[in-house]
Amino acid sequence: MDQYILENILSRLPPKDLYTCQRVCKYWYSIISNIISSPFSIFITSPTAVLNYNACLSNEDVEKAWKKVPKPGGMHTKYIRLIGSYNGLICLRYEDYNMALWNPCTGLFKTVKNNFQCIDYPFCGFGPNSSTAAGGYVIVLGCKYFVRFGVMNDKLGQYVWKSIQHNKDYVYRESIGVLVNGNLHWPACWGIRKKVILYNLDEGKLEEFKGPDKQETTNFRIGNFKGNLCATFKDGRMFEIWVMKDYRVEESWMWLYNIEGFVLHDALVPLGFLKNGDIIIEVDRRFIARYSFAYKTAKVLRFLRGTKSSAVSFVETLAKPNI
């Protein structure tokens, strides 16, 4: 069978079946390893649904390619808040301020008890616990003047909640943290200054560094560009994408691309980049779109339901939410 045809067939299988098919032979193992390592999926809330990377590249009706994902059993609530994604797990907040770690591919989930009764979080995030060799995860919930974070140790299998204070009254431009270089980041403004707020997962503290020097622009957002931190701004009738070439080196911010055709829109959040160079973006919390830099055209992939609906990119794995 032609390799392209085989890869196209296998890429449509769910991760659980892919890992089983890897055992067929070395040839299949090599092809599937490449499939697993490269694609990402887009996860949205309200309603919960997933779109695979390969559907973004195809010429089919992408709106129909979205796969509805039933909420975990036991999560009996209409309201869910997306906290973040890491290693194939989705972190959600639901009723009674509790959290859930959920793998949409396997359906497994774990409830994380939380007595932090804050109605809303200006910023939040989910990532690896890199502070110890034992591994685990970190959940970050940020309020106005303090941050609460839950740290799980894999060996213990439970979360320990701690709080730290921060003194500056930032205006956060996006609530869900972007994971780059093992740390969580949020775009923020302090006066007219654009800042990237960093939660140092190793040291458990908030830090900051400057965004690109573009004071005349508006609607500062950040994302992950092939492992590097990137930023988007609205400058007149177009959006600009900048990338930080050297991590935490403020002078290394450099212009990368322009995105045209979104004159009436206010904010673009980068979700991921396709193999052909196209970008997947969330626009104004209203819809998900694919933009081609080559042809300067955009295609809507999915309309979102209401301002409380959120989107995040994640890699499909068989990771377990607990040990």
Neighbours of 132 (CB within 10 A): 12
* Predicted model pTM: 0.84
Q: How confident is the model at residue 116 (pLDDT cuts 50, 70, 90)?
A: low
Find the helix or strand (DSSP H, E) in which 50 lies.
strand 49-52
Q: How confident is the model at residue 68 (pLDDT cuts 50, 70, 90)?
A: confident
Q: At what angle do helices 26-37 and 3-10 cross, to 10 degrees?
A: 60
Identify the pLDDT of residue 272: 87
The CA distances from residue 99 to 12, 35, 162, 322, in Å, are 31, 31, 15, 13
End-to-end Cα separation, the chain, in angstroms:
40
Q: Pairing between strand 228-235 and 218-225? A: antiparallel
Identify the pLDDT of residue 39: 60
Q: Most confidently modeled of 68-77, 207-216, 231-240? A: 231-240
Q: Which residues fall within 8 angstroms of residue 46, CB to CB, at 6 or more apart?
A: 80, 304, 305, 306, 308, 309
Q: How confident is the model at residue 62 (pLDDT cuts 50, 70, 90)?
A: confident
Of 216, 266, 212, 265, give the one whose Cα is nearest residue 241: 212
Strand, helix or coil at 209?
A: strand
pLDDT tens figures, 157-186: 677 777 777 667 777 777 899 999 989 999
Identify the pLDDT of residue 192: 76
Q: How confident is the model at residue 250 (pLDDT cuts 50, 70, 90)?
A: very high
Residue 64 has pLDDT above 90, yes or no: no
Residue 37 has pLDDT above 60, yes or no: no
Task: Write down the mean pLDDT value for the chain.
Answer: 81
Identify the pLDDT of residue 248: 94
pLDDT greater at residue 94 or residue 12 = 94
pLDDT tens figures, 257-315: 999 988 888 889 999 888 788 899 999 888 999 999 999 999 888 888 766 688 998 88
Tokens (6 digits) for 33: 């390893």
pLDDT tens figures, 76-112: 666 788 999 998 899 988 876 788 899 888 888 888 8
Q: Which residues fall within 8 angstroms of residue 64, CB to CB, at 6 or more apart?
A: none
